[in-house]
Amino acid sequence: MPASQELAEVQSALLSLDMRPTLLVILGSYLPGYKSGGPIRSIANLVSALGQEVTFRIVTLDRDLGEHSPFPGIVANRWVRVGHADVMYLRPGILGLLRICRLLRSIDRNSGLYLNSFFARRASMLPVLMRWLGLCRPRSVIIAPRGEFSAGALRIKSVRKRLFIRLAKSLGLYQGLIWHASSEFEAVDISRQFSLSRSVRVASVIPSADGHAGKKRRSQVAIASDLASAVPSSQRQRPPKVPGRLHIVFVSRLSRMKNLAGALKMVAGISGQVSLDLYGPLEDAAYWAECRDLISALPENIQVRYLGQIAHEEIGLAFATHELFLLPTFGENFGHVIAEALLAGCPVLISDQTPWRGLEALGVGWDLPLTASARFREVLQHCVDMGPEEHAVMCARATEFAERRANDPNVIEENRALFQYALGLGSGLISGPKVV
């Protein structure tokens, strides 16, 4: 019997007996929230794809990022069904913290723990510390840093972050964990910080070279790309693009990491009639003040509007009514918003600090080094001058490319293999080791 058929029969048997493996997922916010962006989409898409094979139990706050009020209608401290997952919404404060501790203490060797940050105190540092102290004993711990080790991310509050990394390494807090990298670029970032010798394509994992061989189980790193949404955006007929005009959109948290200031400086030097619409939560008041100063200094041909926060279900429409998505980010471990722009048929101009590379060759956009300011302006001017035929072709290619990427069965298999390995359901090996 072929191995794939045998695995399918085993999975079917587990489902019929309700013996699916359990994965406890801890993250800062979850559905119906949307303000923290990518991590919510990563987990929601993962649950949608694998929720019938793995019992996902998600622990999160009862409110969206930065909000003081809980979600309406949410009952705290009780498991509720959301899609294919059981979710417990906790209130912030000491009582919620104590409940997390109790949940972590209750984990047995048949369950895995999945953390969605490295620096989040209650959602990541606390579980890791409890495990180190022997107060939490899951079968395995998977940690997804979500781009926190990129050079751009580490430049923000760098002293505090580097001190914690040094302390974590000296104490061996992360010994024996499985690191989940969304791309080879992120795997290199993780390996650089924790002296991991090499990483592989799926969940065939390689031990680290951290000097603790023979004493404890070694740390491991596996690459499994995040799952993009496979739901197509509502398509609407775009009016033909007018040469000499360009409608740009920036959709993201308005923070230093997303580099809105850089985007404003880039558009300042182009000619033509240009509009730039900004969507996203105001995460940093001081940074927003800097950006407002840049906006006020722009020439009259550049019109900028801040349109506030946007719900996830409305993002597709925002992209469908603009002609270019601009995001010169300092780093993304995946970039769900980039996938959503492409899915909506909106060409993108982004930095090369994301896994979305080679876009110009594909005819769907551009990914440029942040040091190439002149090249950014050159591309922006080209987009302003672009005629309707060229733009329509790019839009069609963008949607086709994004749909193909979202429905790639290999990406689902990478994630399935990762959790099969972590939860002890087999080797998790789909392809041979690929060293990065």
- pLDDT number for residue 211: 34
- pLDDT number for residue 8: 54
Q: Indicate whether 433 belongs to any domain.
A: no
Q: Indicate whether 261 belongs to any domain.
A: yes
Q: CA 302, 376, 304 angle in degrees (round to 5)?
A: 20
Q: Is there a single domain that holds both residue 169 and residue 276? A: no
Q: Is there a single domain that holds both residue 260 and residue 395? A: yes
Q: Are 58 and 25 in contact (CB under 8 A)?
A: yes
Q: Is there a single domain that holds both residue 218 and residue 80? A: yes
- pLDDT number for residue 38: 84
Q: Are 219 and 196 in contact (CB under 8 A)?
A: yes
- pLDDT number for residue 20: 84
> Phi and psi for 394 in degrees, rounded to 5?
-60, -40
Q: Quick one: which of 50, 372, 416, 399 has its CA closest to 222?
A: 416
Total of domains in the chain: 2
Domain that holds residue 351: 245-406
Q: Is there a single domain that holds both residue 222 and residue 358? A: no
Q: Is there a single domain that holds both residue 332 and residue 343? A: yes
Q: Indicate whether 429 belongs to any domain.
A: no
Q: Write down the pTM of the prediction.
A: 0.84
Q: How far is the C-alpha of 231 from the C-alpha of 100, rounded, in Å?
A: 33
Q: Is there a single domain that holds both residue 73 and residue 211? A: yes
- pLDDT number for residue 397: 97
Q: Is there a single domain that holds both residue 301 and residue 188? A: no
- pLDDT number for residue 330: 93
- pLDDT number for residue 225: 87
Q: How far is the C-alpha of 25 from the C-alpha of 27, rounded, in Å?
A: 7
Q: Are 254 and 277 in contact (CB under 8 A)?
A: no
Is the CA virtual torsion 164, 147, 149, 159 positive or negative? negative
- pLDDT number for residue 273: 97
Distance of CA 396 to the CA centre of its chain: 25
Q: Is there a single domain that holds both residue 189 and residue 308? A: no
Helix (H, G, I), strand (E, B) or coil at 27: coil
Residue matched to tokens 């918003």:
337
- pLDDT number for residue 1: 54
Helix (H, G, I), strand (E, B) or coil at 142: strand
Burial 289-312 (b: 16+ CB within 10 A, else e): eebeebbeebeeebebebeeebeb
Q: Indicate whether 238 belongs to any domain.
A: no
Q: Is there a single domain that holds both residue 176 and residue 28? A: yes
Residues recorded for the chain: 436
Q: Indicate whether 187 belongs to any domain.
A: yes
What are the tokens at 348?
């993108």
Q: Is there a single domain that holds both residue 92 and residue 210? A: yes
> Phi and psi for 87 in degrees, rounded to 5?
-125, 135
Q: How far is the C-alpha of 279 from the C-alpha of 325, rounded, in Å?
A: 11
What are the tokens at 334?
């995946």
Q: Is there a single domain that holds both residue 90 and residue 208? A: yes
What are the tokens at 285?
């008041």
What are the tokens at 256?
């230093």
CATH of the domain at 418: 3.40.50.2000
DSSP 248: E
- pLDDT number for residue 431: 37
Amino acid found at 42: S
> pLDDT (tens digit, 0 to 9) for every residue of the chain, 436 residues total?
555 555 555 455 444 445 688 999 999 999 999 888 888 999 999 999 999 999 999 999 999 988 899 999 998 999 999 999 999 999 999 999 999 999 999 998 889 999 999 999 999 999 999 999 999 999 999 999 998 998 888 988 899 999 999 999 999 999 889 999 988 888 889 988 987 644 444 333 333 333 333 334 566 788 888 888 765 555 557 889 999 999 999 999 999 999 999 999 999 989 999 999 999 999 889 999 999 999 999 999 999 999 999 988 899 899 999 999 999 999 998 999 999 999 999 999 999 999 999 999 999 999 999 999 999 999 999 999 999 999 999 999 999 999 998 888 888 888 998 888 888 765 443 333 333 3
Q: Indicate whether 5 belongs to any domain.
A: no
What are the tokens at 128?
């890791």
Q: Is there a single domain that holds both residue 74 and residue 201? A: yes
What are the tokens at 2?
């072929």
Q: Are 165 and 174 in contact (CB under 8 A)?
A: no
Total Cβ atoms within 10 A of residue 51? 15
